[in-house]
Structure 1
Amino acid sequence: MSLRLILVSASLAALAACGAPDPDQADRAPASRPAPAQAGAPVLTVAQIEAGVPQAPAAPGTAAPSSAPAPATAETGAPAPATPPDAGLVRLQILLDRTPFSPGMIDGLAGDNTRQAIAAYRKANNLGSGDAADAALLQHLAAADTARVMTQYVTTAEDVAGPFSPPAAGELADIARTGTNFTSARERLAERFHITEALLQGLNPGVDFRRAGQTIVVPAVTDTPLAGVARIVVDKTERSARAYDAAGKLLAFYPATIGSRERPAPSGTVTVTGVAPEPDYTYDPERVSYDRGDRKVVLPAGPNNPVGTVWIDLSRDTYGIHGSPDPSKIGKTASNGCVRLTNWDAEQLAAGVKPGVVVRFI
């Protein structure tokens, strides 16, 4: 039996409830025409990252360090963000990602997802409270995981071959017609290595990600599946999902997007009923409470499907834990009631669950 059939077809219809694209995602304008890559110095070197220690937060009222305008990127022609990444935070985020106390996307920038992952890791490892990204925390992480945090990768023909889809825009029927694949080889590689496209390009200036045979530097992520998940706690206030084993040990922490004021996530306790890798997404106006038109639309499976690359079905009808087409928004926007993780975090969690696993919403 195909893995995709682990979840019965009746439950697959539940994907209609919470996978609707966020308004700002559904109406994104198409990317601009690709521009040639421009060579230059990388925003950070591998040596800087391998030896990096997070910088102390700037004092209130202190201006953030500035950087020169970034060169045009290889596939969109748009400049990278002006805020320079912190080598120490890149290193810390990679080490957290491998624990796995996920910081979400690796970007080298301070943010709530990284702070919450730090706080969870500290508590789980008896390192005190708080969310400070200091040298002591980094030493603890590095002592437990001595492998290098950066590695090299050579782009392959498969990486660049596609098929690719245009950025999601317009009506659901338009997205169904154009597909839900990655929009570019660079987006595919960024997701594979859990890194933002801006930082991936910044670490590899002059690289045209549309070409095979390019040697690039990337985070040395591991994607180790979880095993033995007995209980999941979804914290709607913290915007996180935590996985525990049968003995109560915290196995993993993930930042999450969880419902909204208009369409809140469930409360109380539910259970996992199954897992659907590479799910379709069905919008059925007879089953949902938000308006995306009056016609039933089925979007094909793909990493930029509204529910991402995997769906963990819950016993509350039409609700689940699932992936996302836009990992940069995890923990920062609302959802239509479900629990949304990055695709790689959702896949890792899905590998460790089975029907009957308890999911508690607090």
Structure 2
Amino acid sequence: MIHTVKAGETLFAISEDYRTSLSAIVAANPGINPNMILVGQQIVIPNLPHPDTIPYTIHISLVNRTLTLMNQGVVQKVYPVGVGRMLHETPVGDFVIVNRAPNPGGPFGSMWLSLSKKSYGIHGTNDPSSIGHYVSLGCVRMYNQDVEELARTVPNGTAVYIRP
């Protein structure tokens, strides 16, 4: 997978966002100076397929509180979700699923899908009544059976587009 450096990012922060060691990123990018990366620079993230090779994309609408799964540009399914509340908004942007954890426990329900933004993910919930509302600390909540279905369908590297 290729990451394009954005303003304010460091190579260490990129490694944390993708849950990949800094040494692995340096090794995958010969000649890179870890102390000086430039906006717009292309960084290879090892062990993740490029999203263009995956037929699925996920589109999250914060205002509609929906997650739409698309397969080759065609809507496959629309799920209701809970999203971040005031002062803890869900981040808007383009991300990818970098890893997953079944049964993470607590408020995260039965499945956690990590996004390429540290501390954010798509996950189940131990409070199904929160779905459809602005309630989380920024993550996207789904019914447990829905996030399990999503996790069985999409691989790591799947693009996730979060919009207002």
Residue 230 of structure 1, aligned match among 33, 56, 66: 56
The corresponding residue for 1:345 is 146
Q: Normalization by structure 1: what TM-score? A: 0.30
Q: CA deviation at 1:328?
A: 2.0
Task: Evaluate the alpha carbon distance shift between residue 351 and residue 231 of structure 1 in structure 2; reply closer, same or farther with a 3 A threshold.
Answer: same
The corresponding residue for 1:32 is none
Q: Normalization by structure 2: what TM-score? A: 0.64
Residue 320 of structure 1, aligned match among 96, 106, 121: 121
Q: Provide, for residues 134-184 of structure 1, a one-character-per-residue CA deviation record: whole Å limited to 9, x for no partner.
A: xxxxxxxxxxxxxxxxxxxxxxxxxxxxxxxxxxxxxxxxxxxxxxxxxxx
Structure 1, unmatched stretches of 5+, are 1-9, 12-227, 280-300
* Cα pair 2:91 2:162 within 8 Å, conserved: yes
**2:108 is aligned with 1:307:** yes
Q: Could you tell me how far apart the structure 1 residues matched to 2:129 and 2:76 are?
A: 23
Tell me which protein shows more strand as a share of its residues: 2
* Cα pair 2:66 2:80 within 8 Å, conserved: yes
**2:82 is aligned with 1:253:** no
Q: CA RMSD in A?
A: 1.6
Q: CA deviation at 1:261?
A: 1.5
Partner amino acid, structure 1, of 2:90: A
The corresponding residue for 1:239 is 65
SS at match of 1:344: helix
Aligned residues: 112
The corresponding residue for 2:87 is 262
Sequence identity of aligned pairs in percent? 35
The corresponding residue for 2:34 is none
Tell me: higher relative CO, structure 1 or 2? Use CA pairs within 8 A at least 6 residues apart: 2
Partner amino acid, structure 2, of 1:340: R
Q: CA deviation at 1:332?
A: 2.8
Partner amino acid, structure 1, of 2:58: I
Q: Which portions of structure 1, spanning 4 or more consecutive aligned residues, are displaced by more than 6 angstroms? A: none
The corresponding residue for 2:13 is none
Residue 358 of structure 1, aligned match among 139, 159, 162: 159
Partner amino acid, structure 1, of 2:98: T
* Cα pair 1:229 1:243 within 8 Å, conserved: no
